């Protein structure tokens, strides 16, 4: 029985269009797994299916050894699955603090506790989320997920639209979240080098299949193999 997140022969897609074919993953608590893939490889579909936003077309998703109901986001959230979408999905007319307060679990940490991870938000505490910079909005999106005390944290393209220097500041925070909270963190990312620096494990998705998997350190040490899988999309045997 897995204590973290387990995908067992997961098939996912939109309607009759299959984007993910028979994916198997077994991810331990307190670890970061980088999912590396080009656009259209099925990464967002995978995250949305785990989060219950899309119904499974086949296979199973389990958290701490118990299957999640398919296509039921509230049930997934109740089991501790939290998604940070690539569009951040903030309440743009609410302040930073108000965004956190709305997301906070009834017995969860106070919004101010999130400043331990994102001290830069303190000076923007009463500012509407819609006028924050891209980096500040991403900080808030992750903080809003973190205040929900996730057991499984799904982060979709944290670096989208951000300067590399900002990404280099944000990704280590994801590593720290996994270490501090024991959450399973799944990090979908196209900044391959930066993702591998903070991840424990990594998988490469292409054409809906896992074509390469292993420790992040091993994959980082063999860039030719990684590039061939990323661009060629052929599973290793």
Question: Is residue 235 pLDDT above 60, yes or no?
Answer: no
Q: Please state which of the ranges 85-99, 143-157, 221-235 shows the lowest mean pLDDT.
A: 221-235
| Whole-number Å distance between alpha carbons of 87 and 70 | 23
Question: Is residue 197 pLDDT above 50, yes or no?
Answer: yes
Report pLDDT digits (tens) over 132-171: 999 999 999 999 999 999 999 999 988 888 888 888 888 9
Question: Is residue 46 pLDDT above 80, yes or no?
Answer: yes
What's the pLDDT at 237? 35
Q: Please state which of the ranges 58-62, 67-71, 154-158, 228-232 shows the lowest mean pLDDT.
A: 228-232
3-state percent helix, strand, coil for the chain, nearest multiple of 5:
40, 25, 35
| Whole-number Å distance between alpha carbons of 178 and 151 | 9
What's the pLDDT at 231? 73
Range(s) of the chain covered by CATH 3.40.50.300? 1-80+151-237
From residue 66, how far is each of 21, 76, 118, 190 by CA, in Å? 22, 11, 33, 31
- Give the model's confidence band at 3: pLDDT under 50 very low, under 70 low, under 90 confident, else very high: confident
Tell me the CATH number for domain 1-80+151-237. 3.40.50.300
Q: Please state which of the ranges 12-16, 131-135, 180-184, 201-205 shows the lowest mean pLDDT.
A: 12-16
Q: Please state which of the ranges 99-103, 127-131, 146-150, 158-162 shows the lowest mean pLDDT.
A: 158-162
Question: Is residue 88 pLDDT above 60, yes or no?
Answer: yes
- Give the model's confidence band at 38: pLDDT under 50 very low, under 70 low, under 90 confident, else very high: confident
pTM, whole model, 2 decimals? 0.92
Query: What angle (nearest 5°) sits at the alpha carbon of residue 194, between those of residues 135 and 2?
Result: 100
- Give the model's confidence band at 232: pLDDT under 50 very low, under 70 low, under 90 confident, else very high: low
Backbone φ, ψ for residue 165 (5° rounding): -65, -35
Percent of the chain at pLDDT > 70 equals 97
Question: Is residue 30 pLDDT above 70, yes or no?
Answer: yes
């Amino acid at each position: 029985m897995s204590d973290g997140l387990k995908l067992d022969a997961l098939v996912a897609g939109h309607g009759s269009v299959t984007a993910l074919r028979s994916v198997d993953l077994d991810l331990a608590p307190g670890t970061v797994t980088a999912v590396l893939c080009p656009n259209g490889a099925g990464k967002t579909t995978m995250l949305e299916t785990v989060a219950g936003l899309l119904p499974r077309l086949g296979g199973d998703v389990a958290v701490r050894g118990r299957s999640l109901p398919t296509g039921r986001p509230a049930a997934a959230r109740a089991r501790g699955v939290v998604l940070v979408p690539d569009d951040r999905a903030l309440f743009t007319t609410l302040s930073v603090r108000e965004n956190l307060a709305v997301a906070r679990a009834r017995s969860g940490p106070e919004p101010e506790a999130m400043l331990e991870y994102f001290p830069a938000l303190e000076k923007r505490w009463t500012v509407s989320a819609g006028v924050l910079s891209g980096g500040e909005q991403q900080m808030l999106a992750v903080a809003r997920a973190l205040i929900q005390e996730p057991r499984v944290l799904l982060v979709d393209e944290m670096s989208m639209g951000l300067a590399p220097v900002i990404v280099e500041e944000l990704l280590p925070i994801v590593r720290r979240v996994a270490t501090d909270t024991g959450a399973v963190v799944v990090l979908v990312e196209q900044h391959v080098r930066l993702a591998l620096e903070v991840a424990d494990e990594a998988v490469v998705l292409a054409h809906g299949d896992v074509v390469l998997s292993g420790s992040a350190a091993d994959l980082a040490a063999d860039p030719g193999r990684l590039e061939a899988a990323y661009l060629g999309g052929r599973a290793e045997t």
